[in-house]
Amino acid sequence: MRTLIAAFLGLSLAVFVTLGVKKDNGYFLIGYGQWSVEGSLALLLLSLALICLLLYLLVRILARLWNMPERMHDWQGRRRASRARHALTQGLLELAEGRWKSAENHLVRYAHQCETPLLNYLAAARAAQLQGEDARRDEYLKLAHASMPTADVAVGLTQAELQLDHQQNEQALATLNHLRSLAPKHTHVLMLLKRLYINLQEWDKLEQLLPELWKRKAITEQEFQELEVRVYQEKMAAMSQDADALQALWQRMPKALRQRQPFLRSYAGYLVELGEGGSVAHLLSEFLNKQWDPELVRLYGRIKTVDAASRLSIAEGWLKTQPKDPELLLTLARLCLQGKLWGKARSYLEASIGIMPKVEAYQELGLLLEQLGEPDKALECFRTGLGLERRQTTRGLSATSGRSGLRYEPPKPVVVESL
């Protein structure tokens, strides 16, 4: 549209000038000494216009010739940049397709000509690692840092990720410690440290890192809780042979975790195995008064202390709400055995077996019958328990009430003998 308007205006101007010249083309006379030139004014003006146009074109041509080297240099630069961009795109595409060798070649071939060589070298480092070439990977990372010294964090994060992927945990630890000194609040650095500490099973350091992970919102609430559970489970297992360390750990654990059954089971179980079960007897009884757990009841009965009478009294109180719990009956039997209440212990053992036959209940009853001078019945208990254990081993637990011929009957009141 603009071209059409310009053509129309030009044509109109030409018609106007032609009409003017046709009416009167003018006259000019130029004299110099004995020389004089005269002619049509219109012709003179047309000639001057042509001369000016020719001079303008000549100047433009000379200017272009003068700037030719610079223009050629700019053209070559644009060509190199275009070629480098194409190589980067091709390299990234091949890296995604798993053609790592070809990707590496494309990424580094024109990296020095690329506007962002950092990206080329970081991607080439990944391609080299995927080929198992750690030396080339490290060289590319050095080149990446040299190409942009201010990108310490970007290069360091890539290096740490690659080292972790190849299980180079010690090198990754050094890299991440350096990164944390540069960017202590960087969430990805914290996440990589979390991953590294799990690989190294550094639960103490991970415990120290947990508050920072939560503060920086690096993980969700669910992830935080799961990680917290794993940290304290692993630390508790590592301290399973040291009662003092276990108790110190328990005191500094979050209260919410101490109230969870799995942790209380583990804590009590380790202390019972170490012969320090008396320190958790009150803790177990308090928990069981609020929430029933057969496994904790079993641990309560395995505690070996001289205070069996009071613990028996507490456990018998649970019969009001759990009269047919086989674990509670077995625990009561064990507490009676500790107090040398043989008759009462036998009654509880038979009641527990009557509800759910268990190998350990048969063993306890067999030992008690031997002590009471009934070897035949004791041998029968041992045989039955052994047969049950074999069936559990080969086919899994299949409790069948009544096989032993015993029935559950609430134990008759027995006078507690002196301990």
Q: What pLDDT does 126 receive?
A: 92
Percentage of the chain exceeding pLDDT 90: 44
Query: Which amino acid, 347?
Result: S
Six token digits for residue 418: 């002196």
User: Helices 261-273 & 221-238, crossing angle to 10 degrees?
Assistant: 10
Q: How far apart are CA 187 and CA 213, in angstroms?
A: 8
Query: Which amino acid, 402?
Result: G
Q: What pLDDT does 64 receive?
A: 80
Q: How far apart are CA 312 and CA 333, in angstroms?
A: 9
Q: What pLDDT does 411 receive?
A: 38
Closest CA to 48 of 10, 56, 31: 56
Q: 């069936």: which residue's tokens?
A: 391
Model pLDDT for residues 54-97, shown as the tens digit of each residue = 998 888 888 888 877 877 766 666 777 788 888 888 988 998 89
* Number of Cβ within a 10 Å radius of residue 413: 7
Q: What pLDDT does 350 receive?
A: 92
Model pLDDT for residues 144-191, shown as the tens digit of each residue = 999 898 899 999 999 999 999 999 999 999 999 999 999 988 999 999
Query: Which amino acid, 379?
Result: L
Q: What pLDDT does 327 receive?
A: 93
- CA-atom Rg of the chain in angstroms: 47
Closest CA to 226 of 187, 199, 198: 198
The residue-averaged pLDDT of 329-352 equals 91
* Number of Cβ within a 10 Å radius of residue 210: 18
114 and 85 Cβ atoms separated by less than 8 Å: yes
Six token digits for residue 238: 């590592």
Lowest mean per-residue pLDDT among 33-42, 82-91, 226-235, 254-263:
33-42
What pTM value is reported for the model?
0.66
**141, containing H or E segment:** helix 134-147
Contacting residues for 38 by C-beta, under 8 A, at least 6 apart: 27, 28, 29, 30
Of 1.10.10.10, 1.10.540.10, 2.40.110.10, 1.25.40.10, which CATH number belongs to 306-419? Answer: 1.25.40.10
Q: How far apart are CA 161 and CA 74, in angstroms?
A: 39
Percentage of the chain exceeding pLDDT 70: 90
Query: Does domain 84-150 sit in CATH 1.10.720?
Result: no
DSSP for 301-361 reads HH---S-HHHHHHHHHHGGGT-TT-HHHHHHHHHHHHHTT-HHHHHHHHHHHHHHS--HHH
Give the residue, 33 or 411, on which the prediction is more confident: 33
Query: Which amino acid, 215?
Result: K
Q: 């550094």: which residue's tokens?
A: 202
Beta bridge partners of 71: none
pLDDT surpasses 50 at 399: no
Beta bridge partners of 29: 38
Six token digits for residue 199: 């690989």
What are the domain boundaries of the chain?
Answer: 84-150, 165-235, 239-293, 306-419
Q: What pLDDT does 398 receive?
A: 43
Model pLDDT for residues 14-58, shown as the tens digit of each residue = 676 676 666 666 777 777 877 877 777 777 777 888 899 899 888
Determine the 3-state secondary structure of 39 from DSSP.
Answer: strand
Model pLDDT for residues 198-220, shown as the tens digit of each residue = 999 999 999 999 999 999 999 99
pLDDT surpasses 50 at 221: yes
pLDDT surpasses 90 at 413: no
* Number of Cβ within a 10 Å radius of residue 287: 19
Angle value at C-alpha 137, between 170 and 82, nearest 5 degrees: 145
pLDDT surpasses 80 at 410: no
For residues 122-131, b (16+ Cβ closer than 10 Å) or e, as one string? Answer: bbbbbbbbbe
Q: Do domains 84-150 and 165-235 have the same CATH topology?
A: yes
67 and 76 Cβ atoms separated by less than 8 Å: no
Q: Please state, in angstroms and as integers, the Cα–Cα distance from residue 247 to each residue in 240, 253, 264, 271, 277, following that order.
A: 10, 10, 12, 9, 11
CATH, range 165-235? 1.25.40
